Structure 1
């Protein structure tokens, strides 16, 4: 049944261009599993992300991952040269410029552009920025210790909920009040009001390097808030390099949600001429600009570029959801599952929308044709 689901996906993809999303994790029996997700545009113009396979890999070297991935794609007649995008995490075996998986795929397919998961990049950016500002780092460290301490006991968790639930609602109410009512509300609820114009003291008493001309407002606005924003911008510029941004800006022109903000035909033409020139003939390139200029009148003309909607891959959420299902299916009570049986279970469960449309008679006939049966099915 899982094999039939895969062939339905293969038929839906047909010979269109597609992107591949790959990630790996360890299951309950400490086996390294690699999940493969295909992203493509169907005949109706909708972007689809389909879970296609789960493969047990003996190691996570880039060559092993490539061989296993190519084996699955070739088994179902998918041409690796039709790959137009790669989305992996930031591990060295994935993003390596010379020997990484993205480099090995790019050597065989010139237009298989690699885009690292944006959610992972943003997480690393926020973590790095929080460590640069000492008060912010101390705050999150103390918050982490507090959460660990509270979650270690059910009694402490219940007491924390009972104690802070009312105060949290009061703080939300205070935020919704007008500025003139904040002072009276805080006084009635015995909440300390911070004087922003007062001199800031970093600790009780007088520190050796204390600055007398620093107010509380200046400390929180300049020393903490502005410093945090500066480090965040610096990390964003370092991790979201110009090459990927230059590639994504023209691709965003194909997103229907961005058309209302202003559709620019030059961005789509730039995507064709600069990033995938060999996928279009010279005649199609000349006609493309004319079609795009008449897009507001003839909306179907944009479908000539529908295959490149698959460029807009920014996160590996589909593979993470597949790993969540993996932890549900393969537990410590069911840790002896065969790799093929585990893959079939995941394909049927994740792509249950397709599995529900399969005919029972066709499944029975397929099972009967697998091998000779003693009784007639």
Structure 2
């Protein structure tokens, strides 16, 4: 029997918390299947338990599964048919991960790199003995570097590293894999050599020999460091998108910044990359090819690849091509950020003295939410926007505001949310648009802690209650133990006081 669970989290914005957007875990629902209609029914039932309705939803966000974001029969489409104001935003962090996976699967050199890393994980991490060998070699390498003055001691430095497998569904895993292979390059080679010499299984010996032929090569090292730089830039965006206080305007800006950084790397990053790769190769006794010489396909010396130089091979076919693919995927995956609604939201951006403010676009944004603004004259909203922008630009307290979260808090703190209620309503609607589903994914991961091997027979109700208290522990920690004991005491007659 296959078991499916549907997780629900709810984001609300309350002036009682100084205008902050708060996301809360509602619960987990046991469903018979993952069809969109089943999930919609489960969502309506769960919302009804809390006296909520689909008609009050103003933003919905899921991953890229077809049953969730399908244009005709997906969950988001079914909800939009019921409530046209429940605008869907594809999780930005998930789109970014899809971009990285697409590049890894499309470029043969990148695909070959991650195939090698998977084989390293399977070979070196196959047993506790080999893992211990890797730790010993790593410790010896660090000690040697410290004695030579190549590394410095300090709190948090020179931590033990382990091999990790890149996964399509684990955000940031590709970056971690590349970093670990570079950091453990020499220990990995040492362990592979020992496996080749001492392994009893001939298949394991053959696997180690293949890795020893492929890993310490200029091609592999070059792609390894190139992907470290590319993934390093995108990892900053990935980590930022997973913050709880992130809003849609910041997310759009971060995507633009990442694209600009990749474009700058394409224009000016070749020489620094080649220098870094050459130093690494010299340190590990890996031959560095002459860039002006004719490129020869490894293992097939008679094949001259149409008299192509090494410079053309590494700079054009690998460096430029991978960066162009990355930029193209980012542009294709994040085409939603150019939608009309998000362009309107961007006009609320307080940066640079509210430079992005546009009254007409904000009035158009109000038209996207007819239930909130059905009894409001758009002319009245226009006059309020005119007064609002003059007021906040003249108020020094708003000069250092950087994002929508800070703007919302400042409006509440200065009581301007009461002076400009329609503007504040627009701001609340903007803050409710979901940026990423990282917090929902973390809540799902909490199931492993709650439903452990010792509690594998717990029912759905008990598991749901345990998840609520665990995920929302910041609230439950504030409840005194005395109050809990009094509550249990009143539930039924007991022999003694608790």
State the partner residue of 2:319.
225
In the TM superposition, what whole-angstrom CA distance separates every residue of 1:166-190 from its partner, at most 9, and x where no partner exists? 3996688xx9x9x999989986875
Aligned counterpart in structure 2 of residue 134 of structure 1, from 100, 108, 112:
108
Contact 2:296–2:303 under 8 Å retained in 1 = no
Contact 1:117–1:316 under 8 Å retained in 2 = yes
TM-superposed CA distance for 1:366, in Å, is: 5.1
Partner secondary structure for residue 394 of structure 2 = coil
State the partner residue of 2:36.
62
State the partner residue of 1:236.
330
Alpha-carbon distance in 1 for matches of 2:388, 2:99:
40
Alpha-carbon distance in 2 for matches of 1:61, 1:94:
9
TM-superposed CA distance for 1:230, in Å, is: 2.3
Contact 1:251–1:271 under 8 Å retained in 2 = no
TM-superposed CA distance for 1:374, in Å, is: 6.2
Aligned counterpart in structure 2 of residue 295 of structure 1, from 392, 399, 410:
392
Alpha-carbon spacing, 1:261–1:220, altered in 2? closer, same or farther (3 Å) = farther
Alpha-carbon spacing, 1:147–1:92, altered in 2? closer, same or farther (3 Å) = same
* Count of residue pairs the alignment pairs up: 341
Alpha-carbon distance in 1 for matches of 2:475, 2:61:
24
Q: Tell me whether 1:264 sits opposite 2:356 in the alignment.
A: yes
Aligned counterpart in structure 1 of residue 369 of structure 2, from 250, 269, 276:
276
State the partner residue of 1:9.
none
Alpha-carbon spacing, 1:315–1:261, altered in 2? closer, same or farther (3 Å) = farther
State the partner residue of 1:357.
478
State the partner residue of 1:347.
468
Per mean C-alpha deviation after superposition, the further-off stretch among 46-55 and 126-135 is 126-135
Contact 1:265–1:289 under 8 Å retained in 2 = no
Q: Tell me whether 1:41 sits opposite 2:13 in the alignment.
A: yes
In the TM superposition, what whole-angstrom CA distance separates every residue of 1:55-81 from its partner, at most 9, and x where no partner exists? 111221212211121122122222322
Partner secondary structure for residue 143 of structure 1 = helix
Please show how residues 56-135 of structure 1 align to structure 2 within 5 Å: 56-135=30-109
Aligned counterpart in structure 2 of residue 310 of structure 1, from 431, 440, 443:
431
TM-superposed CA distance for 1:223, in Å, is: 0.1
Partner secondary structure for residue 93 of structure 1 = helix
Per mean C-alpha deviation after superposition, the further-off stretch among 268-277 and 97-106 is 268-277
Alpha-carbon distance in 1 for matches of 2:78, 2:471:
29
Aligned counterpart in structure 2 of residue 197 of structure 1, from 292, 298, 301:
292
State the partner residue of 1:18.
none
Alpha-carbon distance in 2 for matches of 1:184, 1:364:
65
CA RMSD of aligned residues (A): 3.5
Alpha-carbon distance in 2 for matches of 1:356, 1:196:
63
Alpha-carbon distance in 2 for matches of 1:346, 1:193:
55
TM-superposed CA distance for 1:341, in Å, is: 0.8
Q: Tell me whether 1:286 sits opposite 2:380 in the alignment.
A: no
Contact 2:13–2:19 under 8 Å retained in 1 = yes
Q: Tell me whether 1:338 sits opposite 2:459 in the alignment.
A: yes
TM-superposed CA distance for 1:46, in Å, is: 1.0
TM-superposed CA distance for 1:98, in Å, is: 2.1
TM-superposed CA distance for 1:111, in Å, is: 0.9
Alpha-carbon spacing, 1:56–1:246, altered in 2? closer, same or farther (3 Å) = same
Alpha-carbon distance in 2 for matches of 1:228, 1:188:
26
In the TM superposition, what whole-angstrom CA distance separates every residue of 1:247-269 from its partner, at most 9, and x where no partner exists? 334334556xx625854211861
Please show how residues 244-255 of structure 1 align to structure 2 within 5 Å: 245-254=339-348
Contact 1:41–1:306 under 8 Å retained in 2 = no
Partner secondary structure for residue 54 of structure 1 = strand
Per mean C-alpha deviation after superposition, the further-off stretch among 39-48 and 179-188 is 179-188
Please show how residues 198-217 of structure 1 align to structure 2 within 5 Å: 198-208=293-303, 210-212=305-307, 214-217=308-311
Contact 2:345–2:430 under 8 Å retained in 1 = yes
Alpha-carbon distance in 2 for matches of 1:341, 1:216:
63
**TM-score normalised according to structure 2 size:** 0.60
Alpha-carbon distance in 2 for matches of 1:321, 1:216:
46
| Contiguous gaps of at least 5 residues in structure 2 | 151-181, 184-224, 226-271, 399-410, 417-422
TM-superposed CA distance for 1:347, in Å, is: 0.5
Please show how residues 166-181 of structure 1 align to structure 2 within 5 Å: 166=141
Q: More relative contact order in 1 or in 2 (CA 8 Å, sep 6+)?
A: 1
Partner secondary structure for residue 314 of structure 1 = coil
In the TM superposition, what whole-angstrom CA distance separates every residue of 1:176-225 from its partner, at most 9, and x where no partner exists? x9x9999899868756444333322221453446222x222221111012
